[in-house]
């Protein structure tokens, strides 16, 4: 039995959570840290991500609390202005999580190829970007 031809995409989502089931780190927080690294401030990152400053700050703060470690170094304002940059721990977390996410997406794509034969369809890789809930 053939299934009508539709474009399907494999999806996978990973995150870290604490013993209480609260999110510590995932793709949303990864995007936040990457935006802060790119823009140099929480405010600019929030604007780029189309999020409120408080929402971005709250997620960073929650992650720092749950990890027991600082992710941002804040620069006090002045003539040059203030801002934030990632701590060495945050930089390594971004690199490691990005690598892990890519590895899992690749493996997921490989596993989904088995379904192509079963369903007689074509499943594309990760596909177009999607918005993910925090």
What is the rounded distance in angstroms from the CA atom of residue 106 to the CA atom of residue 110? 6
66 within some domain: yes
Model confidence at 125, pLDDT cuts 50, 70, 90, reads low
Angle subtended by helix axes 27-39 and 53-67, to nearest 10:
110
Return the closest-CA partner of residue 108 out of 24, 2, 14. Answer: 14
134 within some domain: no
The three-point CA angle 22-27-31 to 5° equals 120
Domain coverage including residue 107? 8-124
130 within some domain: no
Tens of pLDDT, residue by residue over 78-117, are 666 779 999 999 999 999 999 999 999 888 888 887 777 7
Question: In the prediction, which pLDDT does 12 show?
Answer: 82
Question: In the prediction, which pLDDT does 133 show?
Answer: 41
133 within some domain: no
18 within some domain: yes
Kindly report which listed range (9-13, 27-31, 53-57, 84-88) carries the lowest average pLDDT score: 9-13
Q: How many structural domains are present in the chain?
A: 1
131 within some domain: no
Kindly report which listed range (11-15, 18-22, 127-131) carries the lowest average pLDDT score: 127-131
132 within some domain: no
Question: In the prediction, which pLDDT does 128 show?
Answer: 54
74 within some domain: yes
Q: Which CATH number do you get for residue 29?
A: 1.10.10.10
Question: In the prediction, which pLDDT does 123 show?
Answer: 72
Residues above pLDDT 90, as percent of the chain: 61
**Using CB atoms within 10 A of its CB, is residue 71 exposed (0-12), middle (13-18) or buried (19+)?**
buried
């Amino acid at each position: 039995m053939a299934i009508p031809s539709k474009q399907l995409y494999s999806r996978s989502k990973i995150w870290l959570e604490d013993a209480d089931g609260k999110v510590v780190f995932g793709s949303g927080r990864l995007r936040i840290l990457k935006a802060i690294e790119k823009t140099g401030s929480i405010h600019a990152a929030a604007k780029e991500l189309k999020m409120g400053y408080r929402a971005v700050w709250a997620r960073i703060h929650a992650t720092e609390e749950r990890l027991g470690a600082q992710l941002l170094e804040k620069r006090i304002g002045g003539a040059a202005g203030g801002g934030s940059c990632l701590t060495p721990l945050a930089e390594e977390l971004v690199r490691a999580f990005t690598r892990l996410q890519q590895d899992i997406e690749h493996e997921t794509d490989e596993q989904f190829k088995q379904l192509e034969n079963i369903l007689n369809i074509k499943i594309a890789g990760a596909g177009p970007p999607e918005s993910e809930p925090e």
